[in-house]
Amino acid sequence: MKPPFGRLVSLSHVHDPATTPIFPGDPEFRTDIVATVANDGYYLRYIQQGEHTGTHWGAPIHFHADGLAADELDLADLLLPAVKIDVRERCAADRDYAVTVDDLRRWESRHGRIPDGAAVVAWTGWDAKWGGPDFIGVDESAGRQPGFAVETVEWLLRTGRLGRRGALGTDTFGPDVGADDAYTVSKLLYREHRISLECLANLAELPATGAWILVGSPLYRGGSGSPATIFALLPD
C-alpha cells in the first residue's frame, strides 16, 4: 500500500559518542557492551546519555518547573506542519545571527502565511558542522551559535503562528543564540504548550513548506525531552 505522503526523511544525526557534540556541562555520552553473541548468545549495550544529547526534543518542563513533562504531552504535540527558514548565508557571515521577523516575513512573501501550530525550523548550516570542532566553536567562537531573536519568537506567539502546540526547530544546540546564557527564547517557547527540536540533520531534504514533522522517541515519565529520531513526511 502506498503511504499517504511522498517520502520519509530522517532529520536526526546518528548518535555516536565519537562524533556527537556535547553541550558544555551536559553528561558524558558513552556506550558499554554488556553482552555479545559469542559469549552470551545475543548482543546488548548499555547506553548512557543526557535527555538532550544529539538530535533531541525538549518539553516545557525543561525550563519551567510547572511545565508539562514529556509523558504529559498529547501525541498531537509531536506531529506538526513544518516550515524551513533558510538563513545559512547570514549565519555563515555572523555566528551570532538571530533570525528576525523580517526573515519570516520574507519567507511568507514567497510561500504564504506560516501555518498555525507549525514547527518553524531555522536552517543555519550548523548541520554541516556536525562531528567537527566548529559545531561548538573553538577559541573566540566557543559557545557561539545562531538562534532566534527574542522579538521574533514574541511575534510568532502574538500572531498565533506557533498556535497552541507549535515548535521551534534548529540544527544547532537550541533556539537561543549562544550569547544568551539566560535562555530567553527557550523560556518564552516553553512557557505554554510548545516544544523544541534541536540538533536537526539533513535539512537540505526538508522543503520550505508542505512537509510534516513527526517526533519519535521514548516518553520518559517526568522527562524534559529525549534523544529522538525526528522524521519529515514529505508531500508527493
Tell me the pLDDT tens digit for each residue of 44-90.
999 999 999 999 999 999 999 999 999 999 999 999 999 999 999 99
Distance of CA 106 to the CA centre of its chain: 22
Cβ proximity of 46 and 17 under 8 Å = no
Cβ proximity of 76 and 165 under 8 Å = yes
Tell me the pLDDT tens digit for each residue of 94-105.
999 999 999 999
Which residue reads 550569547 in cell numbers?
179
Phi first, then psi: give them for residue 25, nearest 5 degrees: 95, -15
Residues 6+ apart with CB under 8 A from 73: 59, 193, 195
> Within 10 A of 208 (CB to CB), how many other CB atoms are there?
15
Cell numbers representing residue 219 in the block: 516518553
Closest CA to 29 of 172, 131, 177, 181: 131
The CATH fold assigned to 7-14+51-234 is Glucose Oxidase; domain 1 (3.50.30)
Measure the CA–CA gap between 107 and 111, rounded to whole angstroms.
Answer: 6
Tell me the pLDDT tens digit for each residue of 203-231.
999 999 999 999 999 999 999 999 999 99
Q: pTM for this one? A: 0.95
